[in-house]
Structure 1
C-alpha cells in the first residue's frame, strides 16, 4: 500500500493504525513524505507490536525524532517479520540507525552493510552493536567517515569479540583514539575470521599497527607488509609484534621512517627470534640506539633465514655492522662486502667478526677509513687465522 505524499498527520495515522490492527494481507506500507510525528509513530508502534504480516515499512521524510524512533525500536523488539524499515530524512539521525538495526536483526539475507558518512556517533553505535552480538550473516560492515569515538568503538568491540562471520570492517576517518585502538586489538586477539580492518585517518597513532596486526594474524595470503612512514612508535610496535610470533607467511616487512626506539626493537627482536620465514626487514631511518642494535644482533644470532636487514639512518653507530653481520652470515650469494668509511670501531668489529667465523663466501672485505684500533684488529685476526 502506497500512501506517500498524502499530508497524513498524527490523527490520520491513528485511523490507519486502527484499520491495520488485525489486517493479515498488507505486507508493505509506504507512508513516506507525510506529516507524521512521534505521536503518530506511537500508534503505528502499538499496531506493529504483534503484527506478523508486514515485512516492509517506509516512514522516511516525516517529522520523527529520537523519541519516535525509540518507540518503534521497542515495539519491534520481539518482531521477527519486518525486514526493511526506512526512516531516512526525519528530524533525527538516530532514525536511520533504528531502521538499519531492525534490518540486521530480521533480514537473514543481509550480508553487507554500508553506513559511510551517516554522521553516526556513539549512541548510534550502541544501538547497532547490540544487534551484532549474535549476528551470523553480516560479513562486511562499512562505517567510514562517521563520528564514532572510543566509547562507540567499545560497544562495537564487545559485540564482535566472539564473532565468527565478519571478514571486513571499515572504520576509517572516525574519531578513534588510543583507547579505541586498544579495544579493537583486544577484541580481535583470538578472532581468526576478520581479514581486513581499515582504521586509516583516525587520531590514534596505534590504528595503523592494530589494522596491520589483524591482517598479519588472519590473512594467510599476505607475504609482504609495507608500514613505512606510519608514525609507529614503541607502544604501537607491541600490537604488531604480538602477531608476528609464530607467523608463517610474512617474508618482507618494511618499518622504515617511523619512530621505533630500542624498546620497540626489543619487542620485535623477541617476536622474530625463532622466525624461519622473514627474509627482508627494513628498519632504516628509525630511532634505534646501541641497545636496539644489540637486541637485533642477539635475536638473529642463530637465525639463518633473514638475508637483508636495513638499519641505515639510525642513531646507533652499531647498526651498520649488525646489518652487515646478518647479511654475511645468511646470504650465501654475497662475495664482496664494502664497509669503508662507516665509522666502524672496535665494538662494531665484534659484531662483524662473529659473523665471519666459518664464512665460506666472502672473498673481498673493505674496512678502510674506519676507526678500528688494536682491539678490533685482534678480533679480526682471530677469526681470519683459520679462514680458507
Structure 2
C-alpha cells in the first residue's frame, strides 16, 4: 500500500466490504495515527476474512489500541484476526496495555500477539499477563524491550499456573532479575503447555539460572530456552548443567550466548551432556571459551550423538581447540551444525578441520569460519576442499566477498537471504548474542 490517502481508503473499503481476497494486511511503518487507526478499526468490525494484521511502527497510540481492541472483540461480526503485530509503537504505553488485556479476556480467535517496544512497563504488561489466566486462544506473546521488571514476571508466573494454551513467550531486553526468574520458573513448574521462552538480555544472573535449573526439572513440555546476555557466568552454567545432566527435563535447545562463560562453565556443560539424550542445540557464542573449554566440548562429542548444533562463534578458541573439535568429529555422528566464526584459530586448525570433514565425517552440513585468523590462501584451500570432498552444504566464509553467507552446494541461497531479512528485528543485536527473541533464530548462521 502506498502512503497516499487514496490508497489507504481503498484498502479500508476492501476490508469493510469483507473482501475474501484480503487475508493479510501489512501496514508496517505507515504513520497512521489515531484518525486512520479509527477508520481501519471501524472497517474491521465488518470483516471476518482478515487473518494477519501488521501495524508495527505505525504510530499507534493508547487511543489507537482502544479502537483496535474494541474491533477485535466486536459482536457484530466475529473477528478472524489470528496474528496481530503492534510492535514498535511506544506511544501505546501502559494505557494501551490495559486495552489489549481487555481484548485478550474477550477475544477467542487471536493466536499470536506482538507488542515489542510498546512502552508497556509493568503497569501495561501485568494486565496482559493476568488476562492470559483465562484466555484460551493465544499461543505466542512477544513483549520484548518493554521495561518489564520482576513485578511483571510475577504476574506472568501466576497466569502460567492457570493457562493451558500459551506455547511461547518472548521477554527479550527487559529488566527481569533473579527474583523475576524465580517467579517464572515457579509458573513453568506447573504449566503444561509452554514449549519455549526467550529471556535474552535481561539480568537474571547466576541466581536466576539456579532458579530455572531447580524450577523446570520434570517439566515435560518446555523445549527451547533462550537465556543469552544475562551474565550468568560460570556459576550459572554450572547450575544449568545440573538441569541438563541425564534427562531431567525436556529442553532440546538452550541459548547461553554472551554470558561471560569461560572454560570452567563449558566444562560443566560438557560433562552434563555426556549423559543427556534430549538436547539438540547448544548456543555458547560470544563467551570467553578457549582451547581448554573446546577440549571439554570435544570430549563430550565423542560420546554424545544427540547434539546437532554447537554454536561457538566469537569465543577465544585457537588452533589447539579447533584440532580437539576436529578429532572428535572423526567419530561423532550426530553434529550437523558447527559455528566457529570470529575465533582466533589459523591455518593449522582450519587444515585439520578440513581433513576431518573430507575424510571421516559425513554428518556435518553447516560450518561457519568467517573472520578467523586463517590466511586468505588457507581459507581458499578450505573452501575448495570442502566443496569437492565434504558433506558441507552451508558454509560461512570470508572467501566469498559477495555475501557473508555462501552456499557451496544446493540452491537455498535465496531462501536463506529471505530468512535473514525476516529476522532483521533482532539482527542488530546478533553480534552481541543477546536478543534471542524467538525459536528458530539459531538456524543457519544466526546465533543464540
* TM-score (norm. length: structure 1): 0.44
* TM-score (norm. length: structure 2): 0.39
* More relative contact order, 1 or 2 (CA 8 Å, 6+ apart): 2
Bigger radius of gyration = 1
